[in-house]
Structure 1
Amino acid sequence: MKFIHFADAHLDSPFRGLSFLPSEEFNHIYQAADQSLKRIVDLALAEKVDLVLIAGDTFDSSQPSPRAQLFFAEQVKRLTDAQIQVVMIFGNHDHMKQEDLLVSPSPYFKLLGNNETVEQATFTTDAGFNYDVIGFSYLNNHITEDKIPEFPAKGKNYTFGLMHAQEKSATASQNVYAPFTVDELQNLNYDYFALGHIHARNNLSSTPWIVYPGNIQGRHINEMGAKGCYLGEIDENSGKTTIDFKETGPILWQGPKINLEGAISKADLQAKIIAKLESGQKTYFSLTIAGAQYLSAEERDLVQDPDFWQTISQSLPFASQLVDVRFVVNTSLKLNDNDQQAFQAAKEELFAPAEFKQIVSDWQKKDPEAAKLAADPDFIAAVKNLTEVKLMSKLKGIKDETETN
């Protein structure tokens, strides 16, 4: 028996922060998850699999667009027309009612565990191999209780568990996605747990298999690396299962880094950046420049300009794109104890909650969107980082001038 396991397609994901891209390029990345899903279905048909397991968050919201719904329904129909069994669950993003899903009724399609009830379904392959799939769907965006005690004992059939869930954390506030422990799953003695929710690929156990396939297409720089699905094969005599990751995402995200050890000309900086952005397929790069205190204010402004990113991108193969530049200050600049203490105190004072709130309040009077940015941890971290770069650059200039004199 062959099967495919995927999760977290997040169809209709908005891909915020990339609006500076040319419209054709932005449309390409917007459609990347669709392309990845289509490739998964192509793979299922080519491999003549018996089963496709979809472990939640197929859509990015509980009210997906008609376009996304119809596209998904079309891909499911390709599978069911080929008599491939499809079993899916809803996750915390696409928690919906069953009647809101626009998939045509078919004996080869099953939405499992509607209304957050653990449900068991039994199927038989054309070769006569019996298997069970047991799982539940979200009806709300959070499930705080441990659902594992509701799972039935394993019967004589090969058994899949299907969950959109997260490992139990020591921090109670984080246990809002059907929290579980690996020991709990292992004690059920099922043959394969098909998980969703975590976007990084991860196998929590191989005895039995407890598998996160990751999402099918990275959406931003924090979702780097190859994305796709798992193709599994079961020996129907021994029950032994082997799995193989298959890359289907059309776009990679990578985070290369260059190190500066001194001042550099604009031409050399551009050449150094281009040389670092290498890939064998279409890739979106977030570049980190370490030693950023060696850049002049003009150079910092240049490398943060989206027009500069587009100029760089035109030199890259496979229509790859530079979409982000981040600065890091290295520690080569030594300060005496008093200066170091003053530098640290200045940083803490500037970014004290009350001080930062006042800055945002003044900013918000000019731009109402400021409040949203000020609540974004990534934005705050970027502002702090850039501030430190500029301070260190100023200090370096003062230190150089002092040493010269």
Structure 2
Amino acid sequence: MKKIRRRGIHLKSFRFIHAADLHLDSPFKGYMNIPSEEITSYIKNSTFIALQAMVDLAIREKVQFIVLSGDIFDLADRSLRAQIRFQKEMLKLGEYNIQVFIIHGNHDPEDGSRADLQWPDHIHFFPSNQVEMIPAYDTNGQEIAHIYGISYPTKSVTSNLTKKFNITDVNQYNIALLHTNLDGNPNHDNYAPSQKEDLLQLAVNYWALGHIHSRQIVHENPHIVYPGNIQGRSVRELGERGCYIIDVDETKATRLTFVSLEAVRWIHHKIKITDLKNEQDLKNIIDKQLKILEEDKEYKPTIVRFTFEGHGPLHHFLNENINIKELLLEYQEYTIESLKSDQFFVWIESFKVNTSPEISRDQYMDDSHYLGDLLRISQHLLNDSKELQDFKEEALFSMKSHLKAGKYLREMDSEQQRTEWLKRAEELVLYLLLEEVKS
């Protein structure tokens, strides 16, 4: 690729892709015992299929470059298979003069073992000893942006890497790659911790972050963005997974478009049993939801977890372990029997049960028994938001000092959430007390 540095700065419009956390060749622990070779093979290859979809997208949308913000590989000791597959796709991008800028994260740090593969000039890996700047060029060899980045030397990076960035050129469009746990997200390891204020102090137009697997636009103008991972790897990583296409115009105005890339989509669907009278009703509602997934216009292979919740006459049936096992096996066997090698599938990963028996709340409300006291106190709290708040503060006081639980509670502390917690607690206590009385 011919590169010519221009004199003076005259900004041009350009387009690039931001992706992160590819986790190529992820082992998908717990999902490799599915009794279908076609399904297990497809799941195991899903990260590679998503990578190929990203490359095809870059070519189709005529982007000038791609930034990859860490954890390209799933393990520090990268599998040879993953490295060769990645190299193959990167070489394809070179045929279209698409540059690629890459940092290493905690899963694929620099000190991990790797094959001695040759990488062409359009592929740029940032070092770990310092922040480096590499210009991005358009197809005419004209400079369009400055790309900054720093990799992880080892897995456990606990220092704030933003302190190593020194970006002062406000005339250029500056993009910075960083694999970081921003603002102490409790759901991820606290590697390279940073604060939003750290990022906003630097003359960066677009912070291309990685590490957090849920996509989020943390800030706009300047942009601070997590694209999430390109392929969900369990029921904890639900829904669409992919990358952002970013369009920048001559005024530095920045527009983001999310594009899903996942080869397999994970779904968690909750089913209320309150209106279900018998096993046929249960089967009907499962069949209905499966039909909706099978007719989805995107037609992507799907793995779904169903959770039954609420109270009703099917509670005791669902809580008999053998019934759930037989129900799951029947649906899974049907999927395998109807599967062809090139066929879309919906695989039920599991049935989870979180139900309670039918309880007539009004039946106990006026009772002088302690169940009546419990219900009357609960009703009073539901009618008085101030008292509910005070009650919540007292009940959860000890948990608020916990590092992860405290942050989780603060994030979810709304009047609606407090009401939901109280209703769920009431339902659980009623169930436990009535079960104790029966026994």
The TM-score bracket by the shorter chain reads 0.7 to 0.9
Give the secondary structure class of the aligned counterpart of 2:83: helix
Rounded Cα–Cα distance in structure 1 between residues aligned with 2:162 and 2:235: 33
TM-score norm. by structure 2 comes to: 0.72
Rounded Cα–Cα distance in structure 2 between residues aligned with 1:177 and 1:194: 16
Most deviating of 97-106 and 46-55: 97-106
Contact 1:313–1:320 (8 Å) recurs in 2: yes
Change (3 A) 1:175 1:24: closer
Change (3 A) 1:310 1:106: same
1:275 to partner: Cα distance: 1.4
Give the secondary structure class of the aligned counterpart of 1:295: helix
Contact 2:179–2:210 (8 Å) recurs in 1: yes
Contact 1:36–1:249 (8 Å) recurs in 2: yes
2:304 corresponds to: 285
Change (3 A) 1:114 1:100: farther
Rounded Cα–Cα distance in structure 2 between residues aligned with 1:174 and 1:38: 27
- Choose the corresponding residue for 2:179, options 164, 173, 185: 164
Aligned letter for 2:281? Answer: D
> What are the Cα deviations for residues 286-321 of structure 1, in whole angstroms up to 9, with x where unaligned?
101013772326754222354234046468994111
Rounded Cα–Cα distance in structure 2 between residues aligned with 1:141 and 1:195: 17
1:331 to partner: Cα distance: 8.0
Check if 1:294 corresponds to 2:315: yes
Rounded Cα–Cα distance in structure 2 between residues aligned with 1:100 and 1:48: 31
Check if 1:132 corresponds to 2:146: yes
- Choose the corresponding residue for 2:235, options 211, 214, 221: 221
2:48 corresponds to: 34
Change (3 A) 1:392 1:20: farther
1:81 to partner: Cα distance: 2.7
Give the secondary structure class of the aligned counterpart of 1:114: coil
Rounded Cα–Cα distance in structure 1 between residues aligned with 2:355 and 2:154: 43
Give the secondary structure class of the aligned counterpart of 1:8: coil
Question: For 1:5-404, what aligned pairs fall within 5 Å after superposition?
Answer: 5-18=18-31, 19-97=33-111, 100=114, 103-115=117-129, 117-127=130-140, 128-155=142-169, 156-169=171-184, 176-235=190-249, 237-261=250-274, 264-277=277-290, 278-279=292-293, 280=296, 281=299, 282-291=301-310, 294-296=315-317, 300-305=321-326, 306-311=328-333, 313=335, 318-330=344-356, 333=359, 337=370, 395=434
1:358 corresponds to: none
Rounded Cα–Cα distance in structure 2 between residues aligned with 1:227 and 1:55: 15
Q: How many residues align?
A: 350
Contact 2:102–2:125 (8 Å) recurs in 1: yes
User: Could you say what the CA RMSD is over the residues aligned between the two structures, in angstroms?
Assistant: 3.2
TM-score norm. by structure 1 comes to: 0.77
1:42 to partner: Cα distance: 0.4
1:130 to partner: Cα distance: 3.2
1:330 to partner: Cα distance: 4.3
Aligned letter for 1:15? Answer: F
Return 5+ residue gaps in structure 2 as ranges: 1-13, 375-426
Contact 2:76–2:109 (8 Å) recurs in 1: yes
Return 5+ residue gaps in structure 1 as ranges: 342-387
Aligned letter for 1:187? Answer: Q
Contact 2:209–2:226 (8 Å) recurs in 1: yes
Change (3 A) 1:246 1:338: closer
